[in-house]
Amino acid sequence: MGFKQHSKEKHNPQRSFRELLIKYYFVDDSTYGHMQFPRRFCMRKGLFMRLLGNMKINYPYFQTTWDATNQRIFNALQKMHTSNTSVNKGL
């Protein structure tokens, strides 16, 4: 009777989403440029980043948190993206 060997690095869909979101929109050489940003987020990138900074300072919900395994969960960028998407869809 054998046991499954678990790898130390598990697949984390939250982490994958975060990495893709940053790669697509928030690095200097992003996949989608400044022209596509407003189509996705319904605002200019500068305004989004200013709002994100203010939210991180003033609201604990938007501050980065850590789970029991000491891994980062839902950083401020993901939370802001989700909030923005909900508002835009009228949820």
User: Rounded to whole angstroms, how far apart are CA atoms 57 and 29?
Assistant: 27
Instruction: Give the per-residue pLDDT at 58.
Output: 92
Residue range 16-43: average pLDDT? 84
Reference 62, options 74, 71, 70; nearest CA is: 74
Domain boundaries, the chain: 14-89
**Cα angle 45-14-10, degrees, rounded to a multiple of 5:** 145
Give me the mean pLDDT over the 60-89 stretch.
78
Q: What is the pLDDT of residues 37-72, one digit of tens each?
A: 888 888 898 898 898 889 889 988 888 777 788 777
Number of CB atoms found within 10 A of residue 56's CB: 18
Report the predicted TM-score, pTM, of the whole model to 2 decimal places: 0.64
Confidence of residue 78 (pLDDT cuts 50, 70, 90): confident
Question: Which has more confidence, 56 or 74?
Answer: 56
